[in-house]
């Protein structure tokens, strides 16, 4: 990776936007030139609206958040945007950026199911990047990551899916407060409580898992064809979505084969992508792991902290495989996932020449 591309963060004052700022402040390939926000935060320095537990990056904390448009970003020479805009707002803005030749890596749901847009988890479905080969001339790549709970699920399933022959997936989630953004859920509604409803989450887990685990052939993605039956609940945890997964399997591999498949899974081992964790899935043997408090920051390097999905409590009573997994919703399931998407797109030649 050579010279850094001029980059904007959209929604930089929000929970995902601040993780973008943290991850991109000293990135070898992307140089943050614009921090964009909505009416609430525009005009203020990023440091004044900062709400992550670690301090803002020294190079960005004093920079002022601004309102912007795709036309203005294009005039400024911005080449790449990382989008943490709310769904609804994101769709038209991101399309217009791509139309003007600015590559988009988005967290928002608006374009996830567009047939020509890769819904990407790089270790799981890198071939889906080839959807970009059919985009109109002059249009820049638009790539999305999945919903935060789907990302953890597909990383937990992908290593063992070929061995199991999945018939059905049941999943119950225990989702962190930060999944609802900042300031998020009112404290009196969640303290001493569990809320068994997250709008559209169960539907997204089903359709996005089918798409990501689907096969790319002849220029399109054929979705996987097993049902994903999800229960999604909000719990009083700051970061990290825990998921209880039950897979009904067609085949009967041994438990040792399953653990070996998870432990040896590292499809990006040789790609040198800065934010890729090695391994992307870690198996914990303890009887009480994974836990949000202990495992949310799993990763193999300072840059990939929070990018490893942790699997544990594995029970194999054929045809049912049961396990828990934990994934940092705002890092692996959010900003870090988008940064990794951009790194693989750059590596595979989709961001053009300098």
Contact string (CB under 6 A) for ligand NAP, positions 121-160, x = contact = ---------------------------x------------
Angle, CA 137 vertex, CA 132 and CA 142 arms, to 5°: 35
Q: How far is the CB of 35 from ligand NAP (least distance, A)?
A: 9
* Active site annotation includes 148: yes
Q: How far is the CB of 36 from ligand NAP (least distance, A)?
A: 7
Contact string (CB under 6 A) for ligand NAP, positions 276-315, x = contact = ----------------------------------------
Site for ligand NAP in 182-211 (CB under 6 A): 182
Strands, E, within the chain: which ranges?
A: 5-10, 30-36, 80-83, 103-106, 142-144, 166-175, 215-217, 220-222, 228-234, 241-249, 281-283, 309-317, 320-327
Instruction: Give the total of residues touching ligand NAP (CB under 6 A).
Output: 31
Q: How far apart are CA 352 and CA 149, in angstroms?
A: 32
Site for ligand NAP in 46-85 (CB under 6 A): 84-85
The count of other CB atoms within 10 Å of the CB of residue 95 is 18
Q: How far is the CB of 276 from ligand NAP (least distance, A)?
A: 18
Q: How far apart are CA 206 and CA 67, in angstroms?
A: 35
Strands, E, within 218-334: which ranges?
A: 220-222, 228-234, 241-249, 281-283, 309-317, 320-327
Site for ligand NAP in 103-122 (CB under 6 A): 107-109
DSSP type of residue 128: G
**Interacting stretch for ligand NAP, rule CB under 6 A, among 37-45, 158-166, 203-211, 255-263?**
37-45
**Cα dihedral: 115, 198, 11, 185 (round 10):** 180
Residue 16 sits in the site that holds ligand NAP (CB under 6 A): yes
Q: Which is nearer to ligand NAP, 172 or 180 (CB)?
A: 180
Q: How far is the CB of 147 from ligand NAP (least distance, A)?
A: 6
Q: How far is the CB of 64 from ligand NAP (least distance, A)?
A: 12
Of 7, 13, 144, 209, the residue at the interface with ligand NAP (CB under 6 A) is 13
Cα distances (Å, whole numbers) of residue 93 to 28, 123, 160, 199:
26, 28, 38, 23
Place of tokens 């043997």: 285
Residue 350 sits in the site that holds ligand NAP (CB under 6 A): no
Q: Under a CB-based contact definition with an 8 Å cutoff, are residues 299 and 277 in contact?
A: yes
- Catalytic hit among 19, 97, 148, 232: 148
Residue 24 sits in the site that holds ligand NAP (CB under 6 A): no
Q: Which is nearer to ligand NAP, 40 or 215 (CB)?
A: 40
Q: Which is nearer to ligand NAP, 91 or 274 (CB)?
A: 91
Q: Which two tokens stand for residue 286?
A: 């303890």
Q: How far apart are CA 87 and CA 99, in angstroms?
A: 19
Q: What is the largest CA-CA distance in the chain?
A: 60
Which are the catalytic amino acids?
Answer: 148, 241
Binding site for ligand NAP (CB under 6 A): 11-17, 37-42, 84-87, 89-90, 107-109, 148, 178-179, 181-182, 329-330, 333-334
């Amino acid at each position: 990776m050579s010279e850094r591309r001029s980059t904007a963060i959209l929604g930089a004052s929000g929970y995902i936007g601040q993780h973008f700022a943290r991850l991109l402040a000293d990135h070898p390939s992307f140089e943050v030139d614009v921090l964009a926000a909505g009416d609430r935060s525009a005009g203020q320095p990023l440091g004044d609206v900062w709400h992550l537990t670690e301090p803002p990056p020294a190079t960005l904390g004093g920079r002022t958040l601004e309102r912007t448009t795709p036309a203005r970003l294009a005039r400024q020479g911005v080449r790449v945007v990382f989008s943490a805009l709310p769904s609804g707002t994101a769709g038209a803005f991101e399309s217009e950026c791509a139309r003007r030749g600015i590559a988009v890596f988005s967290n928002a749901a608006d374009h996830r199911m567009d047939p020509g847009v890769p819904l990407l988890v790089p270790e799981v479905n890198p071939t889906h990047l080839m959807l970009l080969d059919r985009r109109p001339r002059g249009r820049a790549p638009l790539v999305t990551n999945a919903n935060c709970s789907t990302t953890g699920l597909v990383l937990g399933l992908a290593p063992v899916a070929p061995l199991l022959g999945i018939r059905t997936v049941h999943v119950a989630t225990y989702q962190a407060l930060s999944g609802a953004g900042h300031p998020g859920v009112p404290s009196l509604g969640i303290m001493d409580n569990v809320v068994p409803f997250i709008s559209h989450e169960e539907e997204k887990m089903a359709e996005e898992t089918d798409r990501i685990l689907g096969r790319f052939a002849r220029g399109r993605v054929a979705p996987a064809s097993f049902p994903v039956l999800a229960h999604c609940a909000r719990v009083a945890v700051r970061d990290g979505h825990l998921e209880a997964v039950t897979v009904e399997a067609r085949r009967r591999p041994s438990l040792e084969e399953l653990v070996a498949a998870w432990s040896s899974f590292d499809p990006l081992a040789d790609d040198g992508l800065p934010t890729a964790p090695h391994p992307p899935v870690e198996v914990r043997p303890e009887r009480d792991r994974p836990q949000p408090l202990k495992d949310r920051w799993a990763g193999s390097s300072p840059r990939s902290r929070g990018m490893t999905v942790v699997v544990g409590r594995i029970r194999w009573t054929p045809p049912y495989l049961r396990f828990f997994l934990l994934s940092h919703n705002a890092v692996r399931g959010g900003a870090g996932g988008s940064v990794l998407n951009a790194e693989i797109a750059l590596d595979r030649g989709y961001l053009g020449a300098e």
